[in-house]
């Protein structure tokens, strides 16, 4: 940033544009606070980011260059299987093939586009791809790799048609976040689709079984006996009735009952299902909507601006502001910070154990066919959520696997392509994402079994990575953080945004008095430039 701000004094400084930080920024600006919102990245979202294909390759390369203490871990590629001279020969063949491929798209790509798309991504990823292909120094057939790299060129050409979510989630139709979006008017900056289809893995039939989404669906379902259907309907009606004596239930039952009740109340509000999916990505898109509200109410934004230090008052030990790498100093009475912005000086001493964070194994596959169950839908929809309970059959013995399916209807990918997001808790940071990789054959088999021609779908590309879940409460309890610095947690493994919304509300009320309304109804004369 070359232009410096004349006014450097604010009520609130927010560091990072993750979902929690952005909700807090928008709500505080809406309440009349003077807000400065900084992010060291050039894009919104922080740990909730959404990438096009080119940005995805850049992100992957950045992760490989980070050390093991980074909040997100990417699987490392073994580059020791081919000698350099062999690799150089193969790369020459690749570039010849890529040149031919680019000539095919010459009318759509300018020379500057070619340079942007191919450098440095092709050199980096071609080399890694080919080095990972062979375990010997014998003559190597490069045809499969050339085919993959041709897919890479096409994907780069269509880069802006991808919106790949690093932290995919959906919204309960009657959840707290949806109510806030409606009441405050923030939702008008976004687009949604109803998630009407839900599936669960049937261990006996070894397939994804559709979960009934209505009373009619229950009674036409052939896998449930008539007696069980009646019992199920009685239970579902029971959960909707709020006047219950919860003391009669066991300790673990209230949690399940509360979730069932929330699910039932969400069904049918905006569509057949109980959830909504944002278009163009999840947490990042919601973050940008709240950032826009913040800007409407006077918030100041600076992206691509790393911090150099925090300013601490020696007498009070409070943080009075921050300094950026370009020499600017900003002051505020409250600092809201993402975990990646905390000063290393605040870390606990070496004798304090700081190893209670958990992990999420994540991955996504982009294929040329929808997952099996969606081949059978009459409306051509390919948006749905699936649950694979813990079982030995698919390799997830201890933890369930979430699966979210999207397509071009949610702007996740180009037409005739489909994205399958996978994630599961993974408490061992050293454990590879093999559980998710083991699911791929099952998904492709499901495609083949439901396809009219019984042909297996093809994986265009796939990505696997890990995310560390760091709780703000855990950090605050152990780190030496100033009292007026409020920390925002990492994204969790849940399927929705409710915990992030709850945390944002809590931080909001640490900065204002209790009589201030959190995200009040939108004003009629409100501008949105």
Write out pLDDT tens, residues 70-129. Answer: 444 433 322 222 233 334 444 444 445 444 444 444 344 444 444 444 444 555 666 665
Span 439-451, pLDDT tens digits: 888 888 877 666 5
- Cα–Cα nearest to 31, from 42, 21, 23: 23
Please spell the DSSP secondary structure of 244-274, one letter per residue: --GGGS-SSHHHHHHHHHHHHHHTTSSSSSS
- Contact yes or no for 394/383 (Cβ under 8 A): no
The segment with the largest mean pLDDT, out of 126-140, 188-202, 258-272, 345-359, is 188-202
pLDDT given at position 91? 45
* Phi/psi-derived region of residue 32, left when phi > 0, alpha when psi is between -120 and 50, beta in every other case: left
Cα 338 from Cα 323, distance rounded (Å): 16
Strand pairing class (275-278; 418-425): unpaired
Token pair for residue 488? 């925002």
- Rounded mean pLDDT, 445-474: 80
Starting from the edge strand earliest in sequence, which strands make up the sheet with 334-338, in order?
Answer: 300-303, 35-39, 12-15, 334-338, 485-488
Cα 138 from Cα 256, distance rounded (Å): 58
What are the residues whose beta carbons fall under 8 Å from the beta carbon of 446, sequence distance 6 or more? 207, 208, 371, 372, 373
Starting from the edge strand earliest in sequence, which strands make up the sheet with 207-210, in order?
Answer: 72-74, 459-469, 358-367, 418-425, 401-407, 384-388, 197-202, 207-210
pLDDT given at position 140? 56
Long-range interactions of 113-120: CB distance < 8 A, separation 24+: 116/54, 117/54, 117/153, 117/156, 117/157, 117/159, 118/153, 118/156
Length of the chain (residues): 529
Q: Which fold has domain 9-50+281-351+471-511?
A: FAD/NAD(P)-binding domain (3.50.50)
pLDDT given at position 121? 54
- Cα–Cα nearest to 168, from 262, 278, 22, 59: 278
What are the residues whose beta carbons fall under 8 Å from the beta carbon of 107, sequence distance 6 or more? none
Cα 48 from Cα 88, distance rounded (Å): 38
In the predicted model, is pLDDT for residue 412 greater than 50?
yes
% residues pLDDT > 70 (the chain): 73
Span 7-16, pLDDT tens digits: 999 999 999 9
Position with higher pLDDT, 247 vs 301? 301
In the predicted model, is pLDDT for residue 505 greater than 50?
yes
Cα 4 from Cα 323, distance rounded (Å): 12
- Rounded mean pLDDT, 410-420: 94
Cα 380 → chain centroid: 25
pLDDT given at position 132? 60
- Contact yes or no for 157/52 (Cβ under 8 A): no
- Contact yes or no for 330/13 (Cβ under 8 A): yes
Instruction: Give the count of beta carbons closer than 10 Å to the beta carbon of residue 83.
Output: 11
pLDDT band at 222 (very low <50, low <70, confident <90, very high): confident
Q: Which fold has domain 165-278+355-468?
A: Guanine Nucleotide Dissociation Inhibitor; domain 2 (3.30.519)
Strand pairing class (207-210; 307-312): unpaired
Residue position matching structure tokens 């050390």: 67
DSSP annotation of 137? S
In the predicted model, is pLDDT for residue 461 greater than 70?
yes
Query: For all residues of the chain together, what is the average pLDDT?
Result: 80
- Contact yes or no for 390/514 (Cβ under 8 A): no
pLDDT given at position 127? 61
- Rounded mean pLDDT, 503-527: 89
Tell me, letter by letter, the H, E, C secondary structure of 169-211.
CCEECCCHHHHHHHHHCHHHHCCEEEECEEEEEECCCCEEEEC
In the predicted model, is pLDDT for residue 194 greater than 90?
yes
pLDDT given at position 26? 98
- Rounded mean pLDDT, 481-504: 96
């Amino acid at each position: 940033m070359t232009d410096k701000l004349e006014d450097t004094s604010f009520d609130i400084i927010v560091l990072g544009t993750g979902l929690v930080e952005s909700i807090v920024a928008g709500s505080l600006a809406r309440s009349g606070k003077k807000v400065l919102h900084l992010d060291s990245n050039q894009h919104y979202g922080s740990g909730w980011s959404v990438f096009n294909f080119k940005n995805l390759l850049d992100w992957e390369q950045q992760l490989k260059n980070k050390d093991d203490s980074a909040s997100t871990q990417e699987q490392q590629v073994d580059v020791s299987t081919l000698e350099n001279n062999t690799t150089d020969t193969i790369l020459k063949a690749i570039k010849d093939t890529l040149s031919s491929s680019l000539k095919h798209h010459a009318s759509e790509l300018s020379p500057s586009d070619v340079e942007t798309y191919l450098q440095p991504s092709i050199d980096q990823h071609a080399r890694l791809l080919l080095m990972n292909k062979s375990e010997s120094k014998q003559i190597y057939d490069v045809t499969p790799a050339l085919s993959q790299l041709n897919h890479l060129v096409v994907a780069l050409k269509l880069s802006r048609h991808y919106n790949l979510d690093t932290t995919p989630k959906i919204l309960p139709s009657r959840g707290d976040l949806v109510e806030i979006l409606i009441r405050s008017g923030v939702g008008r900056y976004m687009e949604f689709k109803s998630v009407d289809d839900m599936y669960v893995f049937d261990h006996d039939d070894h397939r994804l079984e559709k979960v009934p989404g209505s009373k009619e669906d229950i009674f036409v379902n052939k896998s449930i006996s008539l007696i069980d259907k009646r019992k199920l309907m009685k239970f579902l009606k029971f959960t909707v009735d709020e006047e219950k004596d919860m003391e009669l239930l066991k300790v673990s039952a209230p949690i399940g009952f509360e979730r069932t009740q929330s699910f039932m109340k969400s069904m049918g509000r905006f569509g057949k299902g109980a959830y909504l999916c944002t278009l163009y990505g999840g947490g990042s898109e919601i973050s940008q909507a709240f950032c826009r509200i913040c800007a409407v109410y006077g918030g100041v934004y600076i992206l691509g601006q790393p911090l150099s230090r925090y300013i601490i008052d020696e007498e009070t030990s409070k943080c009075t502001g921050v300094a950026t790498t370009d020499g600017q100093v900003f002051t505020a009475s409250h600092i809201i910070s993402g975990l990646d912005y905390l000063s290393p000086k605040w870390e606990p001493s070496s004798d304090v154990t700081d190893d209670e964070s958990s992990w999420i194994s994540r991955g996504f596959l982009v294929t040329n066919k929808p997952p099996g169950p969606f081949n059978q839908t009459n409306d051509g929809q390919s948006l749905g959520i699936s649950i694979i309970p813990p079982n030995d059959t698919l390799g997830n013995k201890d933890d369930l696997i979430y699966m979210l399916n999207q397509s071009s209807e949610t702007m996740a990918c180009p037409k005739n392509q489909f994205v399958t997001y996978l994630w599961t808790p993974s408490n061992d940071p050293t454990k590879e994402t093999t559980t998710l990789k083991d699911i791929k054959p099952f998904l492709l088999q499901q495609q083949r079994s439901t396809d009219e021609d019984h042909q297996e779908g093809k994986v265009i590309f796939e990505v696997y990575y890990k995310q560390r879940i760091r709780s703000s409460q855990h950090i605050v309890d152990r780190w030496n953080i100033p009292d007026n610095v409020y920390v925002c947690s990492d994204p969790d493994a849940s399927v929705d945004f409710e915990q992030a919304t709850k945390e944002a509300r809590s931080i909001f009320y640490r900065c204002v008095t209790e009589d201030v309304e959190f995200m009040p109804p939108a004003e009629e004369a409100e501008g949105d430039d």
